[in-house]
Structure 1
Amino acid sequence: MCQLHTGHKNKTVWIVVGVAGGAVLLAIALLLWWWLLAKRPSAIDSFNKITANWQGKTIALFLDYDGTLAPKVDNPDEAYMSSEMREVVQELASLCATSVVSGRARDKAESFVMIENLHYAGSHGAEIKLIDETEAYEPARKYVPVINQARERLEEAIKEIKGASIEHKKFGISVHYRCVEEEEQELVKKLAKQTIKGFSELTVTKGDKVVEVRPKAEFNKGFAVKYILEQLARKNNWDSSQVVAIFIGDDKTDEDAFKVLWKRVGGLGILVNKKRKWTKASYSLEDPAQVQKFLQMLLSWKKKAEAEV
């Protein structure tokens, strides 16, 4: 009788422990969720804190294009960066390793940025060209035929929707619907998703008023950042513990890069967005104008640091 009572008591204890443990895990999950959704501190206001331990370290700067270096516009072919932004990026590139990592095709990104001494990654990391290399690294080359087939199907699927457009890229497809009437925007997303279901090698991700179609393989902006860092470290004999890697971007597809840097010692993600949103970036800027201001501050800091060596 006493043994039965003891067993019942032990069972009760374990139930209580289990409930308490579950509550603790739930609390941790809620705290993490809250942190990921929290508005990040301003990278401008926090500049001195950010750079406090950078003296003597190598800076590797990674920049998205649309919404970061240039404002987002209805027609993606008219998304121009200002001459002032170009000037500060060009000057920074002469002092630290600077890369543009874009969802656009690499050649199109280059034609908009118009700066030669940069590393370029296009199509979300599916094509990467370093400054000193004549050939681009194209890990997604084998997917070109299936991407072309999917593009033809998508063009047919959305041809009747006014304002919808497809951006042609060698290693991916962008379906833009910023100019589509609001009541039809969900239809564009639905048609794109349904169309790509027939292509097992491709996947769909949603951005800001755009549906991105890419190979399912791990070619993303995080992949591009890792690849460029590894190549530059090998070529320049960098000590990875002494490298500060910064990525500035505004879109959901930039989260792959933020995730890589979040896990990396010396990694820093900066989200360009005025709103509170889920992110693994550590700091924020509101718009391209603030990006330019931050880059100007970084340039001034870098010049001063170089002069003190």
Structure 2
Amino acid sequence: MVSKDISHVLSQHPLGLVFDIDGTLSPIAPTPDEAHLYPEAAHYLQQASQFAHAGIITGRAVADGARIVNVEGLTYIGTHGLEWCDGLPGTHKIELIPEAEPYIQPGKELLDLAEKVLVPQIPGLIVQRKSIGGTLHYRLAPDPEQAREIILEALKEPAARLHMHIDEGKRAVEILAPLTINKGKALRRFVEHFALQGVIFAGDDRTDLHGMIEIERLRQDGYATHGIVVQHPDTPPALLEHADTIVQGLRRWWSY
């Protein structure tokens, strides 16, 4: 198996550097719209794009992720891999994979239901719409665990009827298309698209687990790879188990 030593990976050419946003490039914010990059992150990303193929893989829609990062020269991959953009959306087209198109309307119906039924029940609930489905953020609810149970119970039957998939993140419920596309598949596409020899991926949440597992699979396939997890108090243990490097919090990560 190829070495996972980070200095070895960084010596590869072409090289890829791929990052999640929330909790990795930006602190976890009370609401999605309040998220902002860690100081100097944009500068580092600009520098990285000069010697590597730098990319963003996020659960946010491409347009939303690009709004936060706002660095040209990066590849923006959104909605867990369903969207792809070869630069900032203002100057580049956002591509939605064809398999996802049938789920645009079912996703909208579930989000409409959440706004009609759940928002009045759960104070502080935020409905974040994406090109396909979206996310229900209950971080600000008075009783987050109770809010989680209400959301999951309310969406269980309509999600099954509309053939949509329900998943979870940090104090959030994800409404997703029932496709096998995820951050891991998106990461492999990124590697193959740029014919990379080495790649480093950094993330912090449950949905980044697919990316960390794919880092291991790519290494088995002969690529030089390294996975970095930014650890927070609620980082899933499974994610830590698959990390090559664990960094304690954003401050330590950006001094890494």
TM bin, normalised by shorter chain, reads 0.7 to 0.9
Q: Judge which range, 85-94 or 272-281, deviates more.
A: 272-281
- Please report how far the alpha carbon of residue 53 of structure 1 lies from its aligned counterpart in structure 2 after TM superposition: 6.0
1:151 aligned partner, one-letter code: L
Deviation at residue 68 of structure 1 after TM alignment: 0.5
Match of 2:74 among 118, 135, 138: 118
- CA–CA distance in structure 2, aligned partners of residues 72 and 54 of structure 1: 28
Query: What percent identity do the matched residue pairs reach?
Result: 24
Counterpart of 1:169? 130
Kindly indicate whether the alpha-carbon contact (under 8 Å) linking 2:62 and 2:94 is maintained by their aligned counterparts in 1.
no
Q: TM-score, normalised by structure 2?
A: 0.85
The 1:104–1:53 alpha-carbon spacing in structure 2 relative to 1, beyond 3 Å, is closer
Q: CA deviation digits over 1:200-220, x for unaligned, max 9?
A: 2x1111110011111111221
| Cα shift readout 1:132-186 (whole Å, capped 9, x = no counterpart) | 9943331122321111111111222312210111101111210100001225233
Whether contact under 8 Å (1:262, 1:281) holds in the other structure is: no
Which structure 1 residue ranges, 5 or more long, are not aligned? 1-47, 295-309
Shift of 1:289: 1.9
Q: Which has the higher helix share?
A: 1
2:51: which partner in 1?
A: 95
Does 1:256 find its partner at 2:223?
no
CA contact (8 A) 2:137 2:171 kept: yes
**Do the aligned partners of residues 84 and 134 (structure 1) sit closer, same or farther apart at CA in structure 2, a change above 3 Å counting?**
closer
User: Secondary structure at the residue paired with 1:197?
Assistant: helix
Which residue type is aligned with residue 204 of structure 2?
D
Residue 267 of structure 1 is matched in structure 2 by: 225
Let me know the Cα RMSD of the aligned residues.
2.1
Tell me, in whole angstroms, the C-alpha distance in 1 between the residues paired with 2:12 and 2:78. 31
What TM-score results when the alignment is normalised by the length of structure 1?
0.72
CA contact (8 A) 1:274 1:285 kept: no
1:77 maps onto 2:77 in alignment: no
Determine if contact 1:105/1:170 at 8 Å carries over to the other structure.
yes
Task: Extract unaligned runs of 5+ from structure 2.
Answer: none
Counterpart contact for 2:201–2:211, Cα < 8 Å: yes
Matching residue within 174, 193, 203 for 1:212 = 174
Conserved in 2, the CA contact under 8 Å of 1:177 and 1:188? Answer: no
1:219-249 Cα offsets, whole Å, 9 max, x none, are: 211121112222112xxxx5xxxx1111100
Residue 130 (structure 1) aligns with:
86
Alignment of 1:110-259 (within 5 A): 110-131=66-87, 134-139=92-97, 140-159=100-119, 160-182=121-143, 184-185=146-147, 186-200=149-163, 202-233=164-195, 243-259=197-213
